[in-house]
Amino acid sequence: MSSEQTESETEDKIKIKMPVKTSVIGSGFATIELVSSLVMAVLSRFWKLSSTALLIILLVFWFEGGLGASFMLILAVFGLFYYSQDMLLYHPDEPPHSRLYVEMPNSLNLPYDSQYTRTRDGTSINLVLVKHTAPGAPTIIYFHGNAGNVGHRLMNMFGLYQTCGCNVLMVEYRGFGKSDGSPTEHGLYQDAEAAMDFLFKRSDIDKKKIFIFGRSLGGAVAIHLVAQPYYASLVAGLILENTFTSVPEIAKSLFNLAFLKYVPTWCFKNQFQSLKLIPRIRLPTLFLSGLGDQLVPPRMMKDMYEHSGSSLKQFSQFEQGTHNETWTCPGYYETILKFVKEVLSRGPEDASSSRVENSISVNIDTKGIKTV
């Protein structure tokens, strides 16, 4: 299997479990099938805990009656719902063997530096830096989606390296690929900070030309990083691709289950509240949206753009872009390269006083790109 094929299959594996709605009846059966598959997945993952909880509930029912058992059942269901969310969001084992084998850039005849660094909580994560031969090249810190490892993004990395002329630092989250630990929201935030700290310790990187790139889940990680004033001051620009507004909102959009509308936000273990953070970000920001995205509704990317606090922001749509394959669309790398050049050509004062107006719209049918 090639790197390109593998990359297309890795991110956001939950989408292959989503039913296709064909009718009201079909929708009902699809919902039942979805709920049943989720229940079975939880039970298979937590069967020991489920068995223990069931035994406790039976004992409570025997000694205390139905009210106590009902209370214990509610607690057990809530506990399973809360702690099983990681299983639905993070897929480090897909495709199979993703934790055992990580393809490196030398498979594309590229020189690279693979190193481990420790986060604030002591977790060791894997970082892969591919350095461009051009001196003073910009550097892109790459935050990937919710499945696979950095090796599954090599073809995308190669395009950023070759077409955009950038160094690329690929960050492998905790619990993914060669990195230690298990993924959590706050853990991924620490991984991003560790990657920035690692890069700034190097003497062979132009620290005035650092861009942050995040796709899907990686977009949420990137937004949280640059929403912090300290790290924002170290970054030239932000690039977001097919990312969501928050986990509670994307869950409601994906599963389309009525009860999710009434689930309080605090019930979601992972939240990634990007829409609340994006107004704080003043950095130049490029939004890349695939209109064929069947996982993250393109309206979420538009919402992010409209709420962005950036004084220099650009919204580019790709008519044929899907959630995982927007990077294969014609004009994709040219859009990124143009943005990088524009940001670097402006001084800090120019960037803070300029604005790409919402009313400007250019359609390029031959490339399938719409830039706003």
Helix (H), strand (E), coil (C) string for 45-56: HCHHHHHHHHHH
Q: Which CATH architecture has domain 105-371?
A: 3-Layer(aba) Sandwich (3.40)
Lowest mean pLDDT among 27-36, 54-63, 122-131: 27-36
Residue with tokens 């990007």: 274
Q: What pLDDT, on the 0 to 100 scale, is given for residue 68?
A: 54
Distance, in Å, from the CA atom of 85 to the CA atom of 91, rounded to the nearest integer, reads 11
Say whether 293 is catalytic.
Answer: yes
Cβ–Cβ under 8 Å, residues 345 and 313: no
Backbone angles phi, psi at 203, to 5 degrees: -100, -5
Q: What is the pLDDT of residues 311-336, one digit of tens each?
A: 899 999 999 999 999 999 999 999 99
Q: What pLDDT, on the 0 to 100 scale, is given for residue 65?
A: 55
Three-state SS for 239?
strand
| Residue among 216, 274, 308, 316 flagged as catalytic | 216
Distance, in Å, from the CA atom of 148 to the CA atom of 13, rounded to the nearest integer, reads 9
Q: What is the pLDDT of residues 54-88, one digit of tens each?
A: 555 555 555 555 655 555 555 555 555 656 677 77
Domain chopping of the chain, boundaries: 13-89, 105-371
Cβ–Cβ under 8 Å, residues 120 and 192: no
Average pLDDT over residues 355-372: 39
Backbone angles phi, psi at 347, to 5 degrees: -80, 170
Burial class (CB in 10 A: 0-12, 13-18, 19+), 32: exposed
Cβ–Cβ under 8 Å, residues 195 and 211: no
The helix or strand, by DSSP H or E, that contains position 225, with its residue range, turns out to be helix 217-226
Q: What pLDDT, on the 0 to 100 scale, is given for residue 73?
A: 55
Q: What pLDDT, on the 0 to 100 scale, is given for residue 52?
A: 55
Say whether 132 is catalytic.
Answer: no
Which candidate, 80, 89, 87, 91, places its Cα nearest to that of 267? 80
Q: Please report, for residues 48, 79, 86, the alpha-carbon distance to residue 45 in angstroms, rounded to integers and kept in the order given.
A: 8, 14, 11
The pTM (predicted TM-score) of the whole model is 0.78
Q: What is the pLDDT of residues 269-304, one digit of tens each?
A: 899 999 999 999 999 999 999 999 999 999 999 999
Say whether 216 is catalytic.
Answer: yes
| Residue among 91, 152, 224, 323 flagged as catalytic | 323
| Mean pLDDT (the chain, rounded) | 81
| Residue among 98, 191, 293, 308 flagged as catalytic | 293
